[in-house]
Each structure stands twice: as structure tokens, then as C-alpha cells.
Amino acid sequence: MHCGNRLREIQSAKAIKCVDLAKHLDVRPSQVTRWRQQADFKLATMQALCEALGVSLSEFLGEKSPQ
């Protein structure tokens, strides 16, 4: 699984803009853009993204589809 692709899929499904995600995580929008291009993430980054996106880690990993 390509984590950046999965991040883009979830953002699209939930209509969450990079700017909004960046504000929630207190990072610059350019950091979110970099994450969207990465093949993998540190676990702490993935957990923070899951919390901000409102999905579980298993959903992020593709075991369930986001709602």
C-alpha cells in the first residue's frame, strides 16, 4: 500500500482539503503535500493523520472503507 495514495483517497472521500488538514495538525500545507507523495509514514505520523481525518488505523490501512 502506498500511504500517500491512501491519504489522497481518504481526503477525497471526506472532502478534506490539504489546508484544513494542515491547520488541524499544526503543520504547513506543503508538509501535507509531501505526505501525499510518500510511500510510507512513521507510525506517529499515521496515527496523527488518522485522528485528524476521523478514521481508525485499520481504515487507513485499507481494512475498512472511510465513511
> Domain holding 39: CATH number?
1.10.260.40
Any domain includes 66: no
> What is the C-alpha to C-alpha distance for residues 24 and 65, in angstroms, rounded to an integer?
22
Residue 40, number of CB atoms within 10 A of its CB = 10
Q: What is the domain range of residue 55?
A: 3-60
pLDDT of residue 64: 57
Q: What residues of the chain score a pLDDT lower than 50?
A: none
List CB contacts of 40: < 8 A, sequence separation 6 or more: 3
Which set of grid coordinates corresponds to residue 38? Answer: 510518500
Any domain includes 50: yes
Residue 21, number of CB atoms within 10 A of its CB = 22
What pTM does this model have?
Answer: 0.86
Number of folded domains that form the chain: 1
Any domain includes 46: yes
Any domain includes 67: no
Helices 29-37, 3-14: inter-axial angle, 10-degree rounding: 120
pLDDT of residue 62: 80
